[in-house]
Structures are given as structure tokens and as C-alpha cells.
Amino acid sequence: MQRQITIGLTLVGAALLVAGCHTDMWQQPKVKAQQKSEFQGFSNKAASRPLVAGTVPRGKMKLDEAFFTGFQDGKLVKELPIQVDEMVLKRGQERFDIFCSHCHGRNGDGKGMINQRGLVLVRPPASYHSDRLRNMPIGHFYDVITNGFGVMYRQAPGVEPADRWAIAAYIRVLQTAMNGNLNDVPSDERSKLEASAGKPSIADAATPGEEKS
Amino acid sequence: MPQLFKPSANTLAKLSVILAGLLPVVVLYAGVTVSRSPYNTKVDIPIDQPIPFSHQHHAYELGIDCRYCHTTVEKTAIAGVPPTETCMSCHSQIWTNSPLLEPVRKSYETGLPIAFADGSPGWTKVNAVPDFVYFDHSIHIDRGINCNVCHGPVNKMQITWKGNDFQMRWCLECHREPEKYLYTDAANPNLSGREQVFNLYMKLQEGAKLTQREYNMLYKNEFRYSPNTKEIEEGKALVKKYGVTKESNVDCYTCHH
């Protein structure tokens, strides 16, 4: 009898201990980014809700028209609305390589990996080295990233406005580099170039990381 | 009355006493083994997805940077899975008739998440920590920890699998000795920790010659190899260079708050 009571008590004790284990800390009643939601009102079952139209986050009012749209008074801006230095160009290069290079190529000639693999695109990515794009006001590049162009989708979601301008500045660097000639080279460097004449083409000189602005 | 127990019963009795003593040990051991086995942790098992999306194809063969799709990984806690629009920026033009991509096109038309054929929405999550753990991608990338160290050889995954078990023991292994997992490219020593992370994939892409260490990171599971003493010495220098602080790294409040 005594033994049965001991066993019984042990079992009850064990049951009580096990009852302490639950998983409500593992799955807390909170939502993390990109989680599903079973809430009835959310028709697309995504826990992250889109912002109500017209919402302006505190401190994020887009007052500077030129900076946020690439247009000023209905015309494309011609001057970069940001201060350009080496850091900005480096940033532009990095962002360009991430967001544009697989279509437009590392030097902007439109021969990115997608093209090189022999895939037929409905319309191929543009080369930046046409006269039309070389003479385009810089605001156009900002606008293309923000709103897309023709069959190209907008790239805005991943690229913040400041980065878009950095990319635009970097495209100008590429255009200058690909269109350079001997007179652009500082005179002390020029003799070196001439000595090795025939070997380097301007396209080689435009491998990212080496151009001068 | 005949003897109920033969003398051999003595041995049996002794044996059962020993076994009873061993039982908790065996049960504990089995418990730990099961808890750490792929059956429980799902490590190395490719996970079913609504679309058979291949990282090997997109990230390695096409050379798309991780950040094109996982845009927030270096800025915020989460890496995030890309929106349908990202896929459509290419697949509105190429492979437009592929039946495999039907869920992408449907999602783009309807604005609903990419879904399985049976209608259950969303990509299946491969990597997760419990809700009581706080994890932050940005600091790890900033300190030069490569994606592959934690996620396994993503660049060769046809279907994504989990590279490591993400149990507390595993996090702490690195938090105690980060020098074991820091790496720098000898050809580009001036890059910051963050740039080193993505430089490695670039190197693979360009077909540059890889060191044994780099090969491990890209094709094996780096976490399963212990670095040699030379690499650890180099790692110690990198701890300083990348600004890794070790003081609070094993305090409970770093990950639980």
C-alpha cells in the first residue's frame, strides 16, 4: 500500500513538473517581419500591413523635390543634388554592382550576365554609352531607378534615394571612362600609355575600381 | 515448496540495479542525440518550397549579389525574402512561360503572396530561432562573418537547406571564440569586414584561385572544420581590425531580452 502511494505521488510530481513545460515562449503572440497572419481582416495573410495611403513617417517628409523625384519644376535636374566625393562614388559603384550590373554589365555596356548566357530578352538592357544617354540630364537616371523605364522594372525598393544619386554619379563616371581619349590622361601618365600603345584599350581602363572621376 | 528464484536470479537482480542506475544516463543521452539530430534540427535537409528556387543558379551561375534579393541584410536585423517584384524584374522577360514560375506570375497579378499549389501562402521558412531569442544580421555582416559560416554553402544549394542547427550551444561556440571564424582575402586586405563577406562570392564568380579556407567556406560547411593555429593567429588580428568586442558576447542579455 505504502509503495503504491509513493509511486502515485512520484507520478503526480513528475506530471506537475512536465506541466511546467510549454512552448508559449517559443511562439509568442507577436509577429515578426514577413510572418503569416491568420487574422480574418488580412486578406493576403501577411502580418506586415501596407501603409495607409498618404502616410508620412515622422521626419521622412519628402520636401526636396529635386532630391526625391529627380525633377525640378517639371524638368529633369541637371546637377546632382548631393555633394560628390570619393566616398559617394565608391558607394555608387558598390550599389551599381549589386543592383544593375547583372543586367547592364559592370561597365554599363548592357552586356550583363543575363545577356551573356545567351538568353533572348524581349528588349535588351540599354548600354549607357550612347550619345543620347551621355547627354541626358542626370535626373533621368534617378527617374529610371525610381520608376523603371520601358520593360525595365523600377529598382527603387532596394535602393534608397541617396544611393540612387550615388549610382547616377557613378554612371557618369562609367560614361566618361568609356568615352575617354588620350587628352584626358594626365601628361605624366600619358607617356606610360603611349609606351605601351596598342595594348590597353579604353574599355580595359574602365574595369570598376580604376577609373578617375 | 520449490525455490522460486534460482541462484542465477541474483545476477539478474544485480544487473537490473545497475541498469536502473544507467537508465537516466541513457535516456538523457538519447534525448540529447535526438535533439541534436537532423531529424529534430532539420540541418542539411532541403525544404519544400512553392517554387524550386535555386541559389546555385541565381547567386552563383548568374552572379546576382545576395543583397539584390536580401536587401536589408546589412542594415537591419532581418535579411528578408524578396518580394515578387524582384523575381519579375527578370522573369517578366525571361523564362516567361515556365510552369515552375506560375506562382510568381500569379502572385504578381493578384498581389497575394507566392503560394503552394494547395493555396497555402508563402515561402517555407528554413532558418529560424525561437521568439525568445534576438538575432541581428547587420552586426554579424559588419564584423565580417560570411553568410556561409552560418547558413552553409548557399552558393551550391539547388533547394535551400539549413546549414547549422542554431541551438544556443552553436551560437556560443562562435561568440566565445570569434577569431576562429573570421576571414580575410589575402589579395584584398584593405576591404572592411562587410566588404569581405561579399568579396568572397565575387571571387568565386570570377573564377579566381581559392585557398583551402575559401574552398571550405564555399563548398563545405565551414563550421564543421577547425582552423589551424596559423589561421587562429590571423583571426586574432582580425578581431581587432573588424572591431569585434568579446566582453558582452556571452552574457545572457545579449540574445535574451
| Residue B136 and residue B116 share a domain | no
Q: For residue B126, what pLDDT is reported? A: 92
The x, y and z cell numbers of residue A201, run together, are: 584599350
Q: For residue A196, what pLDDT is reported? A: 61
Contact at 8 Å (CB) between B181 and B145? Answer: yes
In the chain, the amino acid numbered A106 is R
User: Does the beta carbon of B64 lie under 8 angstroms from any beta carbon of chain A?
Assistant: yes
Q: Give domain status of residue B2, yes or no.
A: no
- For chain A, the three-class secondary structure string (H helix, E strand, C coil) is CHHHHHHHHHHHHHHHHHHCCCCCCCCCCCCCCCCECCCCCCCCCECCCCCCCCCCCCCCCCCCHHHHHCEECCEECCCCCCCCCHHHHHHHHHHHHHHCHHHHCCCCCCCCHHHHCCCCCCCCCCCCCCHHHHCCCCHHHHHHHHHCECCECCCHHHCCHHHHHHHHHHHHHHHHHHCCCHHHCCHHHHHHHHHCCCCCCHHHHCCCCCCCC
| Residue B176 and residue B87 share a domain | no
Domain count, chain B: 3
What's the pLDDT tens digit per position in A193-207?
Answer: 666 655 444 444 444
Contact A121 B67 (CB under 8 A): no
Half-sphere exposure for A131 (CA within 13 Å, toward CB): 0
Given a cut of 90, whether residue B121 has pLDDT beyond it is: no
Contact B131 A99 (CB under 8 A): no
Contacts of B130 in chain A (CB under 8 A): 25-27
Q: For residue A197, what pLDDT is reported? A: 57
Q: Give domain status of residue B211, yes or no.
A: yes
Q: Is B176 in a helix, a strand, or coil?
A: helix
User: What is the overall mean pLDDT for chain B?
Assistant: 88
Contact B68 A102 (CB under 8 A): yes
Give the mutation candidate from B27, B93, B138, B141 for the A interface (greatest A CB count, under 10 A): B93
| Averaged pLDDT, A156-160 | 88
Q: For residue A208, what pLDDT is reported? A: 42
| Residue B217 and residue B155 share a domain | yes
User: Does the beta carbon of B31 lie under 8 angstroms from any beta carbon of chain A?
Assistant: no
- Least-confidence region, from A177-181, A204-208, B94-98, B223-227: A204-208
User: Does the beta carbon of A196 lie under 8 angstroms from any beta carbon of chain B?
Assistant: no
Q: Give domain status of residue B106, yes or no.
A: yes
Contacts of B112 in chain A (CB under 8 A): 43-45
Q: Give domain status of residue B242, yes or no.
A: yes
| Residue B161 and residue B93 share a domain | no
| Residue B219 and residue B153 share a domain | yes
What's the pLDDT tens digit per position in B101-113?
Answer: 888 998 898 888 8
Contacts of A29 in chain B (CB under 8 A): none
What's the pLDDT tens digit per position in B13-40?
Answer: 888 888 898 988 888 888 888 877 777 7
Q: Give domain status of residue B47, yes or no.
A: no
Domain that holds residue B59: 55-81+131-255
Given a cut of 60, whether residue B188 has pLDDT beyond it is: yes
In this predicted complex, what is the ipTM? 0.83
Q: Give domain status of residue B3, yes or no.
A: no
| Residue B203 and residue B167 share a domain | yes
Q: Which of A117-121, A124-128, B83-87 holds the top average pLDDT?
A: B83-87
| Residue B218 and residue B113 share a domain | no
| Residue B185 and residue B66 share a domain | yes
| Residue B59 and residue B168 share a domain | yes
pLDDT over 70 for what percent of chain A? 86
Q: For residue B32, what pLDDT is reported? A: 81
Using CA coordinates, name the residue in chain A closest to B114: A44
Q: Give domain status of residue B209, yes or no.
A: yes
Q: Give domain status of residue B34, yes or no.
A: yes
Q: Is B115 in a helix, a strand, or coil?
A: strand
Q: For residue B161, what pLDDT is reported? A: 93
| Residue B220 and residue B93 share a domain | no
User: Does the beta carbon of A107 lie under 8 angstroms from any beta carbon of chain B?
Assistant: no
Contacts of B64 in chain A (CB under 8 A): 102, 113
Pick A153's closest partner by Cβ from B64, B80, B89.
Answer: B89
User: Does the beta carbon of A76 lie under 8 angstroms from any beta carbon of chain B?
Assistant: no
Contact A123 B93 (CB under 8 A): yes
Contact B88 A153 (CB under 8 A): yes
Interface contacts A/B by beta carbons within 8 Å: 73
Q: For residue A143, what pLDDT is reported? A: 94
What's the pLDDT tens digit per position in A64-77?
Answer: 888 888 888 888 98
| Residue B143 and residue B109 share a domain | no
Contact at 8 Å (CB) between B172 and B250? Answer: yes
Contact B62 A45 (CB under 8 A): no
| Residue B13 and residue B98 share a domain | no
DSSP-assigned letters across all residues of B68-88: HHSTTTTTSS---PPPHHHHH
Instruction: Give the right CATH number for A84-180 from 3.40.50.1000, 1.10.760.10, 3.40.50.720, 1.10.390.10.
Output: 1.10.760.10
